[in-house]
């Protein structure tokens, strides 16, 4: 069974000074310069910054849905439902573009710079949404919001895993990803108060808060990835950041090791790269298809509109709550079995949703379905971020996000076609269950990471405490 990273402190070579002394010297330097500098680079501070960034992007993506009814009712926007749907897809396409772009450059330009840039980028374009005079410019702005959000997603995943303490890779990843639906909840709650009182545009003005307030905080507190610095030969700086964050020091790249996207399709990683792409496509297809169509499917099954919407709430509640516990289990037994079991349980729950059982059981099944589909996507991101080596981690998570977006774009359309061509809604549930089973199989087929030459090499390198090769 594949397990998450193991990290071991490695001994210094006899002919070189002990890094225990060096670490003590670093700590002395930190004490001499005061607590402010060290506090800004702790692992928990990095986790909080990543979490808040994802909360803001969740807000920005859901804000459109909260303002859409008012925009459709306002003749000034000249929006039809069809045109509104097209504008909604612009952000998804932008997310795909952003994920692809950042995958090619993050492991070369650094996580910190791009993460701060992406946050400022999507926030600035929310301001453009606020001043857009018509739906055309508004749609362009939504596309560029999506570009920034798509770029931030793999960066936040990579940073959360890299700055996670020993044995908490998947827990940190799940906490960060809980921020996305959390941002959606924030947008929904603010929408209830803001839209009627201050108008649609106020929701988008709020989207400027990250640029004006959060980006300056990130500039002050967010450190660069130690693995990125080490790969650039900035060894002392990498070790200092790792020490102050309370994490193990990074492992240096192997001689001739490929960096970034080129590493993903080497013989060692090619199969895993393709399987992670399939796994993410299944996860996001289910995420967007269920979020789009579940209320309609349950309404067609005989439930009233309010009850049908409650199914959506329960679905997303499962997606928020369960991954926080499943991620801890992933840290203990490995993410492969947990991810596969989540998707398999979702497949069973979705199949039973298509049958005639009691309402309370259906709500429970919707909770399980949300945990095993939308929640499984949280596990998939953490699985991938901890699987790929540090030299290609951002590229790997960007690949997972990019291919997943293809599934996300396909899901609602494919489900609509199935419903349109059938006399009942059962085939749509069968489709969801089949996709979940394919995802579970893909998770089980991801090759185990094997100990390789990096282990032996790292053993000869003094002071290297972070071990990415796994068993």
CA separation for the pair 78, 134 (Å, rounded): 8
Percentage with pLDDT > 90 across the chain = 30
162 confidence band (pLDDT: 50, 70, 90):
confident
CA separation for the pair 365, 353 (Å, rounded): 7
Cβ atoms of 383 and 335 within 8 Å: the answer is yes
Q: Specify the residue for token string 């859901």.
A: 62
pLDDT value at residue 23: 43
Cβ atoms of 356 and 348 within 8 Å: the answer is no
pLDDT per residue as tens digits for the range 91-141: 888 988 998 888 777 767 888 999 999 999 999 999 999 999 999 999 999
12: pLDDT strictly greater than 50: no
232: pLDDT strictly greater than 90: no
Domains in the chain with CATH codes: 35-257 (1.20.1250.20), 264-445 (1.20.1250.20)
pLDDT value at residue 423: 66
Higher-scoring residue by pLDDT: 33, 257: 257
Please report, in angstroms and rounded to a whole number, the separation of the first and last CA atoms in the chain. Answer: 9
Task: Determine whether 66 is exposed, middle or buried from the number of CB atoms within 10 Å of its CB (0-12, 13-18, 19+).
Answer: buried
pLDDT per residue as tens digits for the range 413-430: 788 888 877 667 888 899
Q: What is the pTM of this model?
A: 0.71
Nearest residue to 327 (alpha-carbon basis) of 378, 403, 387: 378
pLDDT value at residue 450: 52
Cβ atoms of 176 and 160 within 8 Å: the answer is yes
């Amino acid at each position: 069974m594949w397990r998450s990273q193991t990290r071991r402190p490695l001994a210094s070579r006899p002919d070189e000074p002990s890094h225990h002394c060096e670490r003590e010297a670093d700590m002395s330097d930190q004490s001499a310069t005061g607590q402010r500098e060290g506090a800004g680079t702790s692992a928990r501070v990095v986790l909080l910054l990543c979490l808040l960034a994802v909360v803001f992007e969740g807000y920005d993506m859901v804000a459109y849905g909260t303002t859409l009814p008012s925009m459709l009712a306002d003749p000034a926007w000249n929006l039809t439902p069809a045109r509104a749907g097209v504008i909604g897809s612009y952000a998804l396409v932008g997310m795909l573009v952003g994920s692809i772009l950042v995958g090619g450059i993050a492991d070369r330009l650094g996580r910190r710079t791009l993460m701060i840039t992406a946050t400022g980028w999507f926030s600035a374009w929310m301001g453009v949404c606020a001043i857009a005079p018509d739906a055309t410019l508004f749609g362009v702005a939504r596309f560029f919001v999506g570009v920034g959000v798509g770029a931030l997603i793999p960066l936040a995943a990579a940073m959360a895993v890299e700055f996670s303490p020993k044995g908490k890779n998947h827990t940190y990843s799940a906490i960060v990803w809980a921020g996305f639906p959390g941002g959606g909840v924030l947008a929904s709650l603010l929408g209830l108060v803001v839209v009627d009182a201050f108008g649609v545009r106020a929701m988008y003005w709020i989207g400027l808060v990250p640029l004006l307030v959060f980006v300056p905080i990130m500039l002050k507190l967010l450190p660069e990835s130690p693995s990125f610095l080490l790969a650039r030969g900035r060894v002392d700086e990498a070790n200092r950041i790792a020490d102050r964050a309370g994490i193990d020091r990074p492992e240096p790249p192997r001689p001739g090791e490929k960096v970034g996207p080129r590493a993903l399709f080497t013989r060692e990683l090619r199969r895993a790269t393709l399987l992670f792409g399939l796994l993410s496509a299944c996860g996001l297809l289910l995420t967007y298809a269920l979020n789009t169509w579940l209320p309609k499917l349950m309404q067609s099954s005989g439930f009233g509109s309010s009850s049908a919407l409650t199914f959506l709430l329960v679905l997303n509640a499962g997606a928020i709550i369960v991954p926080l516990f499943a991620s801890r289990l992933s840290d203990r037994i490995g993410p492969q079995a947990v991810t596969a079991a989540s998707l398999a349980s979702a497949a069973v729950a979705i199949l039973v949703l298509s049958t005639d059982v009691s309402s309370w059981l259906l709500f429970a099944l919707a909770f399980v379905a949300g945990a095993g589909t939308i929640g499984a996507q949280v596990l998939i991101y953490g699985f991938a971020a901890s699987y790929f080596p540090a030299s290609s981690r951002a590229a790997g998570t960007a690949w997972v996000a990019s291919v997943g977006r293809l599934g996300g774009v396909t899901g609602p359309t494919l489900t609509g076609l199935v419903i349109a061509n059938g006399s009942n809604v059962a085939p749509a549930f069968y489709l969801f269950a089949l996709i979940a089973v394919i995802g579970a199989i893909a998770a089980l087929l991801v090759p185990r990471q094997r100990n390789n030459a990096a282990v032996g090499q790292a053993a000869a390198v003094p002071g290297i405490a972070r071990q990415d090769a796994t068993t």
